[in-house]
Amino acid sequence: MKAFISVDLEGMPYIVAPSQLNLKRVLYEEARKIATKTTLIVADELHKNGFEEVLVADSHGPMVNLHVEDLPEYIEVIRGFPRPLSMVAGIEGCDAAIFLGYHAKFGTAKSTFDHTYSGGSIRKVEVNGVEVSEFLLNAYVAGELGVPPIMVAGEAQLLRDDVEKWAPWVETVALKSSLSRVAARSPSMAKIEKELREAAKRAASKLKAKKAKLLIAKKPVDMRVAFLVSHFADVAELLPTAKRVDGLTVEYTAKDMTEAYKTFELLVLAASGVSSFITEQM
């Protein structure tokens, strides 16, 4: 069997300061170590429970966060951005999906670094009328490609809001419970490792017992994207398939989730481009 692990940073334990999330900031190295250790714990337990291969998608920011020295032979890593299917690049052909370090969607109260895909441009994303977090957005893509989610470890509010609601069969581990957007309470790493290993073992067992399910979005897929500022929507509206809904929002219809996701990626990149252009003129 082959496992796919998508790794984000904001939902990792002990990550509470903006300086931990940017490769140019002083505490970034600490976050890298935490994320790498968390990922290797889960990969090791999956390997012990029947997964001969583990594909890890480094999926935060520029997507070059994890330490890759001395990886075990059974692990492959996808790094770099932009890339097709972004946080779930390479998931095709895998047997199960695991999401580590994931966080709640934009606007969630008292949840560390709440955002949806791009904290600098996106306010809300809806798939067929359902507001999605990054977990749900990525799980829909995985489901369309025949890969069931079996485990999510991250910020506690995400687990309560989205994972338990939309994928109750998924094994979960709360890596931290937030006190505010920039403060959280986390268990010791020893306790986290124990819980991660137990969850990974149960997840593998459920998959073998055929208790894992696919999350599949109805086709065609109706997407609605609300931006943080109106000039991002101005640019998004240039896409021939996009329709302007209001000052911040566009909507479009895609034939399937993969197409919807790639189009969304393009809109985020367009917003980033216009943001840089405007900033340079100030």
**Catalytic residue positions, numbered:** 115
What 3-state DSSP class applies to 72? coil
Angle between helices 134-144 and 257-280 (to 10 degrees): 140
DSSP strand E in the chain: where?
A: 2-7, 53-58, 75-78, 96-102, 122-127, 130-131, 149-155, 171-180, 183-185, 221-227, 243-244, 249-254
Give CA–CA dist 94/121, Å, rounded.
31
- Residues whose CB is less than 8 angstroms from the CB of residue 31 and which lie 6 or more positions away in sequence, other chains included: 9, 12, 15, 20, 21, 65
Angle between helices 189-208 and 28-48 (to 10 degrees): 40
The single-letter DSSP state of residue 88 is G
Residue positions counted in the chain: 282
What 3-state DSSP class applies to 36? helix
What 3-state DSSP class applies to 21? coil
Q: How far is CA 194 from the centre of its chain?
A: 23
- Report which secondary-structure segment, H or E, holds 256: none
The single-letter DSSP state of residue 160 is I
- For tokens 């939309």, the residue is 166
The residue type found at 196 is: L
Buried/exposed 234-260: b ≥16 CB within 10 Å, e otherwise: ebbeeeeebeeeeebbbbbebebbbbb
Longest dimension (CA), the chain: 59
